Chains A and B, each alone.
Chain A
Amino acid sequence: MDEAPTGSDRRGTWKVKAGLAEMLKGGVIMDVVTPEQARIAEDAGAVAVMALERVPADIRKEGGVARMSDPGVITAIVEAVTIPVMAKCRIGHFVEAQILESLGIDYIDESEVLTPADEEHHINKHPFKVPFVCGCRDLGEALRRIAEGAAMIRTKGEAGTGNVVEAVRHVRAVTSAIRRLHGMGPEELVMEAKRIGAPVDLLEDCARLGRLPVVNFAAGGLATPADAALMMQLGCDGVFVGSGIFKSENPSARAKAIVAATTYFDRPDILADASKSLGKPMRGLEIGAIPQEELLAGRGW
């Protein structure tokens, strides 16, 4: 058999960027701050890890400007595991994104958990070869991010709280907005696109597919196996768990249980089994008790 030519190999294409997210579906992506935590996450069955200096709960507690993590911390985590590694850059900070791309990160999260660098624009993500995931609170925000080049979407939730209520609000907002598209005529889709601030072509894709045109994960405040299964039953493709694992009493057991809950999300008997004897979950915060200016989900436009 002849050796095929390689000149036709195309890297960094939309299919390749969105395709990695397809491979992560049904999985759990875990926040980690050390190589040891990354190995615990991989052992537990995480499909990817998010390499950070501080988990959102600590970012929230310490305050100040939260930036991209030290490349040394990220590289140590990259070297510790065989699964994909993600890292966060600030909203609009395209140079942090360039640095993360040069480190060989597999996915960049342009994240409201860090302090935004641009209060009007997100990063133009199309020129990058590395794919991006972005947060959303509703359908319009999700489609604006996809228009900028995001190949994966997640709900924003309210990171670092251990309270799933905002993630539920955001995924319900997206799914009910997509359900409303059903039966709309072309001229109605144009007006709906104007109303929610979304590109018409992407809104037409949603109407046709009955879902977002990219993979959609839940994120922000998930802390238990039941939280993960709830988000899966609400129609998410997978889950991010940030502070919920390594701020709990027994991270390894909790991580394994959340992985199982994400696969067997529609089997309450298996969920009951997985939820037993996990030790204390993270303490958690009532959203109403957080001062308005400290809420993270409002960041991004």
Chain B
Amino acid sequence: MSSRPARRLIGVLALQGDFREHMAALRACEVECRPVRLRADLDGVDALILPGGESTTMARLMEPGLREAIVARSAEGMPVLGTCAGMILMANRVVDGRPDQEPLGLIDMTVQRNAYGRQIDSFETEVESPAIGGSGPAVFIRAPQVVEPARQAEVLAVHAGRTVALRQGNRLALAFHPELTPDRRWHQYFLGLRANGS
């Protein structure tokens, strides 16, 4: 990551969920970060992370101006990473969600909530991906599943026959939680995505 410019500010949606773990991971990668709760917090942010948590809660708390600003900034090329609930927010269709749960539609994919079952079916494992140059730890907690990825999306990891990591341009979605492990390669991969579409 030697080409990283010194001053880059990464926003982390901090309405609810494990945003602190993402911020700790970003600090470990030696980049600055800022919690994003209101529309104005997004100003000056170069990239955005949508953390794990409850997607229904985050969707309810997102003020209309913030939702539209995220969609607009993303359309202009701002890189966005979503993990677990964040992946659900990035989808354009949600199965087994709530009827009023309107995702941001950043990636043309259908995601199923709680696809692995209840908490006793949550698991940790290793996931292999060219994005991280091999295999790395992955924690799946009441995880979603991509049931229909878009043709233009690049599948980055498959586990047990299911797509668990994919990328469409500058938008990266993971069904698991790299922020709960000490392995920083997924965050570094995300930081390598640039506004000009690397």
Give the docked Cα–Cα distance between A175 and B54 (Å): 27
Looking at the complex, which one of A4, A24, A130 makes contact with B127 (CB distance below 8 Å)? Answer: A4
B46 at the interface (CB under 8 A from A): no
- B180's partner among A12, A15, A27, A129 (CB-CB below 8 A) is A15
Q: Are A19 and B122 in contact (CB under 8 A)?
A: yes
Q: A22 vs B54: C-alpha distance in the bound complex, in angstroms? A: 11
Chain B residues within an 8 Å CB radius of A195? none
0 or 1 for each of A87-123: is its CB under 8 Å from B? (1 = yes): 0000000000000010011110000000000000000
Among the stretches A219-227, A241-249, A257-265, the one at the interface with B is A257-265
Binds A, one of B25-33, B69-77, B158-166, B167-175: B158-166
In the complex, what residues of B have CB within 8 A of residue A4's CB? 125-128, 158-160
A129 to B15, CA, bound (A): 29
Contact check, B56 vs A42: say whether CB atoms are below 8 A apart.
yes
| B120 lies within 8 A of A82 (CB) | no
Contacts of B125 in A (CB 8 A): 4, 6, 8-10
A20:B119 contact, CB within 8 angstroms = yes
Which residues of A sit under 8 angstroms from B113, Cβ to Cβ?
Answer: 82
Q: Tell me the bound Cα distance from A27 to B57 in angstroms.
A: 8
Of all chain B residues, which has the CB nearest A78? B118
Is the pair B53, A83 in contact by a Cβ cutoff of 8 Å? no
Contact of B54 among A13, A24, A43, A105 (CB under 8 A): A24
* 0/1 interface trace, chain B 121-165, chain A, CB 8 Å (1 if under): 111111110000000000101100000000000010111110000
Query: Measured between alpha carbons, how far is A10 from B125 in the docked complex, in Å?
Result: 6
Residues of B contacting A12 in the complex (Cβ-Cβ under 8 angstroms):
120
> B64 CB to closest chain A CB, in angstroms?
14
Contact call B177/A19, Cβ cutoff below 8 A: yes
Please determine whether A26 and B123 come into contact, CB atoms closer than 8 angstroms: no
Least Cβ distance of A102 to chain B in Å?
9
Number of A-B contacts (CB under 8 A): 136
Task: Give the residue name and chain of the A residue nearest to B160 (CB).
Answer: A6
Would B122 and A16 count as touching, CB distance under 8 A?
A: yes
Q: Are B123 and A82 in contact (CB under 8 A)?
A: no
Tell me if B53 and A27 are in contact (CB < 8 A): yes
Smallest Cβ-Cβ distance to B85: which chain A residue: A23
Whether B120 pairs with A22 at a CB distance below 8 angstroms is no
A44 nearest in chain B by CB position: B60
A147-170 vs B, CB cutoff 8 Å, 1 = contact: the mask equals 000000000000000000000000
The reply to whether the CB of B97 lies closer than 8 angstroms to some CB of chain A is yes
| Cβ contact within 8 Å between B122 and A11 | yes
- Residues from chain A with a CB closer than 8 A to the CB of B100 are 43
Interface membership of chain A positions 26-51, coded 1 if the CB is closer than 8 angstroms to chain B and 0 otherwise? 11000000000000001111111000
Q: Are B96 and A20 interface neighbours, CB within 8 A?
A: no
Given that A15-B180, A23-B53, A25-B17 are known contacts, is A260 also in contact with B120, CB under 8 Å in the complex? no
CB-CB nearest in chain B for A11: B123
Chain A contacts to B: CB under 8 angstroms: 1-4, 6, 8-13, 15-16, 19-20, 22-27, 42-48, 82-84, 101, 104-107, 129-131, 256, 259-260, 262-264
A-B contact pairs, 15 of them (CB 8 A): A1-B155, A2-B158, A9-B124, A11-B121, A11-B122, A16-B141, A22-B52, A23-B84, A25-B20, A26-B14, A83-B54, A101-B120, A106-B118, A256-B60, A259-B61
On B, residues with C-beta under 8 Å from A are 14-21, 37, 52-54, 56-57, 60-61, 84-85, 96-98, 100, 113-114, 117-128, 139, 141-142, 155, 157-161, 177, 180
